[in-house]
Amino acid sequence: MLVVTKFGGSSLSCATQFAKVKKIVLSDAKRKIVVVSALGKRDSSDTKITDLLYILHAHLKFGVPYMDIWNMICSRFIEIKKELQLDYDVESELSSLYKELNKTISEDYLVSRGEYFTAKLMSNYLGYQFVDAKDLISFSYDGKVDYALTEKRVRLAFSEYGTIVVPGFYGSYPNGSVKLLSRGGSDVTGSILSKCLMVSLYENWTDVPGILTADPRIISNPKAIREITYAELRELSYMGANVLHEETVFPVQSLNIPINLKSTNDPDNPGTFIKNVCEDTSSTVTGLAGKIDFISFNIFKNHMSNEIGFLRKALTIFEKFNVSIEHIPSGIDSFSVVVPLSSVEKCKYEIITELKQELKAEVTVDEDIALVAVVGRNMVNKSGLCGAIFQTMGEEKINVKLLAQGPQELNIIIGISKEDYEKTIKTLYQKLLA
Ligand code: ASP
């Protein structure tokens, strides 16, 4: 049995956090593959190493003095080395990097050094072999992971060393140059390694004990979710729940490898399990999420329902402007197309004009739309839930502007005015999850 164990930046912010990580890793012999992010914030006023490296790159590029930032970066790594009394010579590797600093240094390469040095320190501390992600995670030039090559390399490295530490967040192109994943991408590195080694579990350690049932900025101390399916997680993350990098699930889902989210600061807490099938039926609703800033294009035309192809013609216009559609609630002679406001910022008026011209329809827009998603695998075939939702919203005098439910009955999407957004989350949390 093998486990990939990934630690986020907050689990690696200082020597004390490194010590917690060591205790966790060494307490279970299955934890043979460790993936690390770069050093995170030590407190809320601190700056993540990755952000400092991005700033350093900008300073270099625009010819602005950069020694202060460079020294801040170096001191974070050197401090950990000293406090943990490691023999890894981080100082001389940092001075080699210093010699490479110039206006044209690759941003991907420079920023990837955050994970690189963190992994080097951690491998030295754990006594595990450091394996560079650029020699494992291979991208083809179109930016996609070359799984055939990556798998071969990962398996070879693992069989050679047995216990490894790999920096997250980057890999390399066929010519060897470093390519970063998108922000938060160390989650994806862990997931890719889990797939390549077909491990039995992918552990993802952060500073919260799992996925929360609602946004903690709105609900104080929301409950954590014990079990959630990949599909539910996708619904919640898509609707704004800030959990894992959104590409984390794909590599492991096809092999049915569960992900366990846990807190480095509370390791005995079981955290959240993400898997294909969950047995727990104790709650009908798994979680709430939501986003503000949607726009609804409302299209009306008498006898629209008899005009074959009407909907297609409307959707073609959105396609032409490269706008991805969120929902299409409909009536008999009217329907709405709901999209994120940001996606039509530059083409809103063009879309309205074309809809009017092409469809000979009346078109209005409503820019005051927020969406709340009620997500739960146990909602399917359950009666009474909608009754409870709308009764409580009615009691709170919250007007429902639009509604949608996916065919799997995994989610109910409720459109409301932006000013009712927080009130809706609070009301529904009280009724469905508290
Ligand atoms: N350090 C990178 C970031 O801040 C990647 C990661 O933490 O996963 O986005």
pLDDT, tens digit, 9 for 90 and up, residues 28-51? 999 999 999 999 999 999 999 999
pTM for the predicted model, two decimal places: 0.89
Nearest CA to ligand 1 atom 5: 184
Nearest CA to ligand 1 atom 2: 184
Per-residue pLDDT of 71-102, as tens digits, reads 999 999 999 999 999 999 999 999 999 999 99
Report the residue among 49, 116, 122, 186 best suited for mutation to probe ligand 1: largest number of ligand atoms under 8 A from its CB.
186
Nearest CA to ligand 1 atom 6: 184
- Return the sign of the alpha-carbon dihedral for residues 153, 156, 160, 163: positive
Q: Does position 246 have pLDDT exceeding 90, yes or no?
A: no
Which atom of ligand 1 is found nearest the CA of 184? 8
Report the residue among 13, 39, 49, 50 best suited for mutation to probe ligand 1: largest number of ligand atoms under 8 A from its CB.
50
63 Rama class: left (phi>0) / alpha (psi -120 to 50) / beta: left
The structure tokens 């529904």 sit at 428
Tell me what pLDDT residue 239 has.
Answer: 87
Q: What is the mean pLDDT of residues 284-306?
A: 94
Report the residue among 6, 53, 169 best suited for mutation to probe ligand 1: largest number of ligand atoms under 8 A from its CB.
169
Q: What is the mean pLDDT of residues 350-365?
A: 96
Nearest CA to ligand 1 atom 8: 184
pLDDT band at 146 (very low <50, low <70, confident <90, very high): very high
Cα(99) to ligand 1 centroid in Å equals 25
Cα(50) to ligand 1 centroid in Å equals 6
Distance in angstroms (rounded) separating the CA atoms of residues 332 and 430: 35
Q: Does position 241 have pLDDT exceeding 90, yes or no?
A: no
Q: What is the mean pLDDT of residues 340-362?
A: 96
* 275 phi and psi angles, rounded to 5 deg: -150, 180
Which atom of ligand 1 is found nearest the CA of 185? 8
| Cβ–Cβ under 8 Å, residues 298 and 358 | no
pLDDT band at 353 (very low <50, low <70, confident <90, very high): very high
Cα(184) to ligand 1 centroid in Å equals 4
- Token pair recorded at residue 233: 């997680």
Q: Does position 372 have pLDDT exceeding 90, yes or no?
A: yes
Which atom of ligand 1 is found nearest the CA of 114? 1
Q: Which residues line ligand 1 (CB under 6 A)?
A: 9, 37-38, 48, 50, 114, 168-169, 183-187
Cα(414) to ligand 1 centroid in Å equals 33
Other C-beta atoms closer than 10 Å to the C-beta of 176 total 8
Cα(240) to ligand 1 centroid in Å equals 18
pLDDT band at 128 (very low <50, low <70, confident <90, very high): very high
Nearest Cα to Cα of residue 359 among 310, 303, 411 = 310
pLDDT, mean over the chain: 96
Distance in angstroms (rounded) separating the CA atoms of residues 398 and 170: 46
Tell me what pLDDT residue 238 has.
Answer: 85
Task: Residue count of the chain, please give it.
Answer: 434
Q: What is the mean pLDDT of residues 387-407?
A: 93
Tell me what pLDDT residue 407 has.
Answer: 86
